[in-house]
Amino acid sequence: DMAEKGGYPDFMLKEIFEQPRVVRDTLVGRLAPTGELDIDELGLTYEQLDVIDRVYVIACGTSYHAGLIAKNLIEGWARIPCEVEAASEFRYRNPIITPSTLVVAVSQSGETADTLAAIRDARIKGAKVFGITNVVGSPVARESDGVIYTKANKEIAVASTKSFIGQVVSLTLLALLLGQVKGKLTTAQVRMLFHELGDTAEQIQWVLDTQKEAVHEAALACKDARSALFVGRGMGAAISNEGALKLKEISYLHAEAYAAGEMKHGPIALIDPGFPVIAVATKSPTYDKTVSNLKECEARGARIIAVATEGDEDIRKVADHVIYVPAVRDALSAITATVPLQLLAREVAILRGCDVDQPRNLAKSVTVE
């Protein structure tokens, strides 16, 4: 058992530590010497891609959260409207689909029943469907027009970690491709962003190597809580969703993610002394706004844990605990800032005596509705 876990105490930690490799493997061979992105498996020409005027990302669970990240990138870089929807919702409404709609189905297992049903429905309605999956030859791969594999290799822990990173990297490639096809990104910009994307492998490694103690301290601050809030803005809001899901999945601590600016419309009522607020407060265009939201929480006694950019000492004025990530461009911040949240969830779960690899009531893949 220990051998299978490669010397790690659980599969979740082993898989978290594999993430730098997942970034590298997912990117191998993706940039041609000409500076063009090479994603042949998509099976569509630049001309066919140029027609796309709407994107839906459909997925469930953690894969859905990868979609929330992708929306920011696809709209930001390619300027194509993008909606993200839970597959279980998408399949039962009547979404607006035309032949110029691209549906991106994201599924680690490639066999989630709702996601498959949504793919089938979208294709009947004439959409082009790309699959992003971790399992070669899986139903999602077979039933899509094209597929990108996430190169995470087999994921054993029920709570998804390395697959999420593979999904976000793959979706970032797709957003770069669409940006280039739509003429919104130059070849030089794509090349620069591609290299920065590759650099996140090292940056994740830095978090893994240096933030263990900070994560442990933060986990101690959460372990006896009844509930926790995860907040952020923009990319930070998207990342918060995954942080909250990880925590509730494996530690059974109630957690909710909220856009930081929306706190005053409800969740701030929950805050009383000691209430944990976990903030994604990395340097971004909305950093100052997030910090003022945190001050409002602090004034009500919240215990604040911030994921912040290395070198940001000011954040300590408002945060009780800080976990650092290296400075990266906001667009790529999900890849680095998610890692401390995975580690935090695992540490809280362990402190609460939970089985991190096999949480109660959950299955690794959900092949029935």
**Residue (159 or 214) nearer to ligand G6P, CB:** 159
Q: Are strands 303-309 and 321-325 parallel, antiparallel or unpaired?
A: parallel
CB-nearer residue toward ligand G6P: 192 or 363: 363
Judge contact between 63 and 107, C-beta under 8 A. yes
Which CB, 233 or 248, lies closer to ligand G6P? 248
251 in contact with ligand G6P (CB under 6 A): no
Nearer CB in complex with ligand G6P: 142/364 = 364
User: Of residues 80-109, which lie at the interface with ligand G6P (CB under 6 A)?
Assistant: 107-109
Write the secondary structure of 21-85 as one string of H (helix), E (strand) and C (coil). Answer: HHHHHHHCCCECCCCCECCHHHCCCHHHHHCCCEEEEEECHHHHHHHHHHHHHHHHHHCCCEEEE
Residue of minimal Cβ distance to ligand G6P: 61
Cβ nearer to ligand G6P, comparing 31 with 135: 135
**Other Cβ atoms closer than 10 A to 173:** 25
Residue span 111-140 as binding mask against ligand G6P, x where in contact by CB under 6 A, dash where not: -x--x-------------------------
Stretch near ligand G6P under the rule CB under 6 A, chosen from 59-67, 183-191, 212-220, 268-276: 59-67
Nearest to 280 by CA among 204, 335, 352, 226: 335
> How many other C-beta atoms are found inside a 10 Å radius of the C-beta of residue 85?
18
Output the six-digit token pair for 18: 């594999």
Q: Does 240 bind ligand G6P (CB under 6 A)?
A: no
Structure-block tokens of residue 141: 């791969």
What is the distance between the alpha carbons of residues 39 and 29, in angstroms, rounded to a whole number?
Answer: 9
Q: Which is nearer to ligand G6P, 161 or 286 (CB)?
A: 161
Beta bridge partners of 239: none
Residue 362 binds ligand G6P, judged by CB under 6 A: yes
Per DSSP, 138 falls in state -
Where does this chain touch ligand G6P (CB under 6 A) — which range of 34-42, 175-183, 265-273, 358-366?
Answer: 358-366
Q: List binders of ligand G6P among 135-164 (CB under 6 A).
A: 158-160
Is position 338 an interface residue for ligand G6P (rule: CB under 6 A)? no
Minimum separation from the CB atom of position 60 to ligand G6P (A): 4
The footprint of ligand G6P on this chain (CB under 6 A) covers a number of residues equal to 17
Q: Which stretch in 19-27, 222-230, 282-290, 361-369 sits in contact with ligand G6P by CB under 6 A?
A: 361-369
Q: Is residue 60 close enough to count as binding ligand G6P by CB under 6 A? A: yes
Q: How far is CA 368 from CA 114, 115, 365, in A?
A: 8, 11, 9
Whole-number minimum distance, CB 344 to ligand G6P, in Å? 17
Which segment (72-80, 180-188, 322-330, 357-365) binds ligand G6P by CB under 6 A?
A: 357-365
Q: Which two tokens stand for residue 150?
A: 């996430």
Q: Which is nearer to ligand G6P, 107 or 282 (CB)?
A: 107
Q: Name the β-bridge partners of 102.
A: 55, 128
Residue type (1 letter), 188: A
- For residue 299, give every residue at least 6 positions away whose Cβ sits within 8 Å of its Cβ, in sequence order, or none: none
- The DSSP secondary-structure symbol of 276 reads E
Q: Which of 61, 179, 232, 276 binds ligand G6P (CB under 6 A)?
A: 61
Residue closest to 235 by CA, chosen among 311, 313, 287: 287
Give me the catalytic one of 212, 264, 317, 364: 364
364 flagged as catalytic: yes
Residues lying near ligand G6P in the complex (CB under 6 A): 60-63, 107-109, 112, 115, 158-160, 362-366
Catalytic residue ranges: 364
